Structure 1
Amino acid sequence: MEVSLVLERLSGGLDRLRDEAGEGTVTRRRLLTAVPGAAGLLVLGGAATAGSVSAARPEHTPRATTKPRTPPKESAPAKPPGLPTQKKPIFTLADYRRMSSAPPFPTDAVALTIDDGPHPIWTPKILHLLDKYHVPALFCMIGNQVLGHEQIAKTVVGAGHQLANHTWSHPTKLAGKSGPQVAKEIARAQAKIQKTTGYAPKLFRSPGGDWSPTVLREAARAGLLPVDWSTDPRDWSRPGAPAIEHRLMAARPGQIMLCHDGGGDRSQTYTALKKVIPALSAKGYRFVAL
């Protein structure tokens, strides 16, 4: 019921009471019963009005709740794409170019590779020698040798040299191990070298040049090219600096030379390289990076 209608009825009722009072016919009982009735109409009118207002107001609907967004998980570093499995490793610069699609090397080029480091004594000495003659080299690093010699490994990269994966623990008979064992040796070394230096090796050298179809396959799966050598002075056996020098001087253009900066006392290697590097440069040989 509208408020205006209630008020109208109430007003009419009071007017009748006045008229009756004027005529002397209204009684006290009549007056008492009229007032509550009018009050009741007001109450009903208010309730009706409230109901109409309530009906007109849209019902409150709770806001839809959404679950908080879960931050995306960090994806693991992507594994390098696998490479075709090679039937044999790289022995010469021509092999390297064929397997890697690298640009042609100069006809007088040779490459120097240095294995088994980093070493706290011999690696810095050899680095100084290479810097003196502006010679790039490939350092084939062992994972557990990088462990504990991180700063030296970083210095090698900082000097502009390349790194190769030379397994985690340098097992002497890698070719006789199972696929998972070979894969673990490669993966652990790769992870340690890259984490320490920021350089991801692209080449893998099996300890002692010990290759097998399994080793070649696991290297390819890791995205690494297998690299060997064509000139071995056997400096690891410490035959004397003159013997190492003689064998290195027999290198021919296009060959890959092997030396060592780790695995023990490399004073003979260092002494031989002090003569071989300038002597080969004087012959017109050019040292190139792999």
Structure 2
Amino acid sequence: MKNDQMLPGRRTLLRLTAGLGTAGVVRVIAADPAGTPFRPPALDRAGAAGPSPALRGAPPSYRLTPMTGDAPPRFRPAAPPVRTRPFEHLPEVGHAMVLSFDDGPDPHYTPRVLAVLREHDVRAMFFLCGEMADDHRDLVRAIADDGHTVGNHSWAHPLVTKLSRAGVRDELGRTSEVIEGLTGTPPVWYRAPYGAWNRDSFEIGAELGMEPMAWSVDTLDWTEPGADTIVRRVRQGAAPGAVVLSHDAGGDRSQSVAALRRYLPELLDHGYRITVPQRR
């Protein structure tokens, strides 16, 4: 999104998405190559190991069949019934976590995020707005060239639940076309702006060959709460299968970059494997 401050209350719905969790498919996160039952604990405020609240009393994980199956990635209608919400729980994922960044690419902050990820040799997910991708094409290529997953975050970050089916299709379709044109591959993941999905969004995303992806740890970095607060939220939410939501565009994201520089090496030191989803 080009100007995050132009929409008052732009993020008011984000808090609602915490209950949505992460969306995905069978083998959403690559299986732990070691096949060990190790579950890294959450990190406390000082970065020390502590019990993970995310693991207490959690209901059994479950799996759903992908809406789009193994079909060519575009324009295959979803077979009913279509999902009505993203996943709340992930399958057993060992000690993997996912970092994700929304609203970019941005010429000031995306290169800094990429540099930190490159320094630690990890891959992340970038959910791009089509208008930003179209304006900063070299950055889209740089994200893809570094091996990161490029996802669809709509064209101009609207509240898609207020759009007609044609409007949803235009927002998602145009963005997928730009991403495919720049990377050679259409996106297979999408994230609804504000985390606001509805049936039209699920169906049209499936027709375009995409699976929905939400999150389980919201850093709320768009509020610019300070790098210390962002780091604390990631530490508290760290758990096997966690998907962290941050932003590399839409405002001043210097705090987000500073926090990433701190919490990423901590997660790695505590045994977390930073990875990206795999769709079979």
- TM-score between the two structures when normalised by the length of structure 2: 0.69
1:267 paired residue among 230, 250, 254? 254
Structure 2 contact 99–125 (Cα < 8 Å) conserved: yes
Counterpart for residue 48 of structure 2: none
> Do residues 133 (structure 1) and 130 (structure 2) align?
no
Amino acid at match of 1:243: T
**Alpha carbons of 1:282 and 1:113: their partners in 2 closer, same or farther (altered >3 Å)?**
same
Are residue 88 (structure 1) and residue 85 (structure 2) matched? yes
**2:230 aligns with one of 240, 244, 254:** 244
Match of 1:120 among 89, 102, 107: 107
Query: Matches of 2:211 and 2:241 in 1, distance apart?
Result: 18
Aligned-partner Cα distance in 2 for 1:190–1:143 = 8
Higher helix share: 1
Corresponding residue SS for 2:140:
helix
The structure with the largest alpha-carbon Rg is 1
The corresponding residue for 1:188 is 174
Structure-2 change in CA distance of 1:249 and 1:78 (3 Å)? closer
Q: Tell me the SS of whatever aligns to 1:193.
A: helix
Q: What secondary structure sits across from 1:168 in the alignment?
A: coil
Judged with a 3 Å threshold, the aligned counterparts in structure 2 of structure 1 residues 199 and 79 are, in CA distance, closer, same or farther, namely: closer
CA distance in 1, matches of 2:254, 2:184: 29
Question: Which one-letter code corresponds to 2:255 in the other structure?
Answer: Q
| Residue type of the alignment partner of 1:283 | H
Deviation (angstroms), 1:78: 8.8
Partner residue of 2:185? 199
**Which residue among 215, 219, 223 is the counterpart of 1:229?**
215
Give the distance between the partners of 1:282 and 1:235, measured in 2 at CA.
Answer: 23
The Cα offsets for residues 128-156 of structure 1, whole Å up to 9 and x where unpaired, read as: 10011111101100100011200011011
Are the structure 2 counterparts of residues 198 and 211 from structure 1 closer, same or farther at C-alpha, using a change threshold of 3 Å?
A: same
In 2, the alpha carbon distance for the partners of 1:244 and 1:149 equals 27
Q: Report deviation, 1:79.
A: 3.7
How far 1:180 moved relative to its partner? Answer: 1.1
Task: Name the aligned partner's letter for residue 249 of structure 1.
Answer: R
- Report the CA distance between 1:199 and its aligned residue: 2.5
What stretches of structure 1 of length at least 5 have no aligned partner?
1-76, 95-103
SS at match of 1:147: helix
User: 2-side partners of 1:233 and 1:92: how far apart?
Assistant: 19
Q: Distance in 2 between matches of 1:287 and 1:79?
A: 28
The answer on whether the counterparts of 1:92 and 1:230 sit within 8 Å (CA) in structure 2 is no
Aligned equivalent of 1:254, options 241, 255, 260: 241
Larger RCO, structure (CA 8 Å, separation 6 or more): 2
Distance 2:178 2:259 in 1: 31
Alignment of 1:1-290 (within 5 A): 79-84=74-79, 85-94=82-91, 105=93, 107-171=94-158, 173-250=159-236, 251-290=238-277
Could you say what secondary structure the match of 1:117 adopts? coil
Deviation digits for residues 146-201 of structure 1 (CA, Å, limit 9, x no counterpart)? 11200011011011111111001111x21121111111100000001111221310
Aligned partners of 1:92, 1:111: CA distance in 2, in Å?
14
Is the Cα contact below 8 Å between 1:137 and 1:288 reproduced in 2? yes
Unaligned runs of 5+ in 2: 1-71
Q: Which amino acid aligns with 1:282?
A: D
How large is the Cα RMSD of the aligned pairs? 1.7
